[in-house]
Amino acid sequence: MRFSFWPQPTQSFETMKSLAHHVEKTGWDGIWLADHFMPNADDTNAPWPEAWTTLSALAAVIPRIRMGTLVTGNTYRHPAILAKMAATVDHISGGRVVLGLGSGWQENEHEKYGIPFYTVNNRLRRLDEACQVINRLFTEDSVNFEGEFYQLTDAPLVPKPVQKKLPLMIGGGGEKVTLKITAKHADEWNVWGTVETMTDKMKILDAHCNDIGRDPDQIQRSAVALMFLTDDEKFAKKMNSAEGGQATIAGNVNQVQDILGAYKEAGVDELIIPDFTMRDDKLEILDKLINEVAPTVR
């Protein structure tokens, strides 16, 4: 199982660079950035640097680890332009980029920047077409595409990504449509999820793959969960049993080892851990996770 880091996007670039250097040097496998422009709140004045610009800067100075967006909102950029951006950053990184893509969900960003938000169904249909456009641009010399939403005429993408096939990750857990889009087009899939959530949704993803004749093992699966490394058993039990919130992993080192073992047994290939719950002890927690927890499930 891979272990990757998701830093809070409101941090300064110097802090992001320092954190990225730290996780790279200490043995983490990847770093992911959220593609948003502002908080999903009434007060939108928090600093929020743009994800792809930040990613390109990190790609130039951080070696070895994979890096990508978790996930890019498809409504924000034309898929051909996004493919060009991802291929460019792949060259800057030497071939380590993953293009995470989702249908887009944060309404206030669309409203404030004048970006059409569309209906859920419309956004998902656009995502399906965007995946086709991006994958074809990554692999074909020129692309002609006549879709409902996107049209390309003898469209080039030069240079191609460094990777023979730059991975396309779909983010989202919608079982009827999003997971079907994943089955058709994605190399990787990500969702916020407990072990139970991942187990249930991966069965549905596998069924979609079987329906279209695709080997489910061709799709890597990753989970995101908030992390609380704590010796407070009462608090850990409360956080692990919370319903309706974001997926959470809580406990001491031994307990977290057991939980991550269950993720691995379920078929999860990568665990992505945000620092949203970490404060002044952030580096200490990250080091304990990678040195004491990760080796038991890698």
Are 228 and 239 spatial neighbours (Cβ–Cβ below 8 Å)?
yes
The residue assigned the tokens 């944060």 is: 106
Quick one: pLDDT at residue 259? 97
Question: Is 137 a residue whose pLDDT tops 90?
Answer: yes
Are 137 and 83 spatial neighbours (Cβ–Cβ below 8 Å)?
yes
Give the model confidence (pLDDT) of 251-294 as tens digits. 999 999 999 999 999 999 999 999 999 988 999 999 999 999 99
Are 90 and 82 spatial neighbours (Cβ–Cβ below 8 Å)?
no
If one counts the domains in the chain, the total is 1
Which residues span the domain enclosing 237? 2-296
Quick one: pLDDT at residue 248? 96
- Reference 220, options 270, 152, 180, 265; nearest CA is 270
Residue 277, domain CATH = 3.20.20.30
| Stated pTM of the model | 0.96
- Reference 191, options 229, 228, 246; nearest CA is 246
Cα(265)–Cα(188) distance, integer angstroms: 18
Cα(193)–Cα(70) distance, integer angstroms: 14
